[in-house]
Amino acid sequence: MIDQLKKSPLIPVLRKLPEESFLSIAGALIDGGVKYLEITMDAEEAPRLIRLAKQHFGEQASIGAGTVMSVEQAREAIEAGAEYLISPALVDEVLLYAVEQGIPMIPGVYTPSEMAHAYSLGAVGVKLFPAASLGSGFVKDVRGPLGHIPIIVTGGITETTARDYLDAGAIGVGAGSALLDKDLIAKQDWSGLTELTKSWIARLN
């Protein structure tokens, strides 16, 4: 997963989107070039959407679960076919469960101590969240002593700032509302969403 992220660093975060438009949204993102889809588990329909995404796009993208904050959510996500788990915060028992199940997990962290602790428990990388509160300079600084720990950044990242984090040493960028533009979705402008995705990817490559 980490090696692939370095080649395709954009991870769209699909959170509480209109279920009737889910496949169109996911398809537009994939047409734009993304190789990862993160479907958040803070909605009742999340396991069903993971299954749908796997069925329709499993050959084109790696489908994972986000906002995984309990062992129960982790279990549901894995049973639905999630290939990786991401969380906004570090919960030891959830990370240990993922490791036990052989599923890559990237837990949320905010400090160097949390980064080191998560990695020692078996995280394949860490998610700096909310990254915009710390800035790309933090990534550059922490990469000095902790350069062996892969970092993705999420939270307040925009199309114009995303590249700064990669230049600072992050390997991936999670993008929510800044990529999943609510006006494009409301208008069902899927070609517009595809073009926006291409624009993000062009900046990151």
Q: How many domains does the chain have?
A: 1
Amino acid letter at 199? S
- Nearest in space to 137 (alpha carbons), one of 161, 109, 158: 161
Strand, helix or coil for residue 164? helix
Structure tokens at 93: 């028992």
DSSP string, 39-61: EESSSTTHHHHHHHHHHHHTTTS
Active site residues: 38, 127
Give me the sheet containing 126-128, strands edge to edge. 105-106, 85-86, 62-66, 36-40, 10-14, 172-175, 151-154, 126-128, 108-109
Q: Average pLDDT in the 90-102 region?
A: 99
Task: Convert the pLDDT of each residue in 36-86 to its tens digit.
Answer: 999 999 999 999 999 999 999 999 999 999 999 999 999 999 999 999 999
Asked whether the whole model's pTM tops 0.85, one would answer yes
CATH number for the domain harbouring residue 99: 3.20.20.70
Cβ–Cβ under 8 Å, residues 202 and 10: no
Q: What average pLDDT does the segment 5-10 reach?
A: 95
Residue 99 lies in domain: 2-204
What tens digit of pLDDT does each residue of 148-205 get? 999 999 999 999 999 999 999 999 999 999 999 999 999 999 999 999 999 999 999 9
Q: Is the pLDDT of residue 1 over 90?
A: no
Taking residues 126-134, what's their average pLDDT? 98
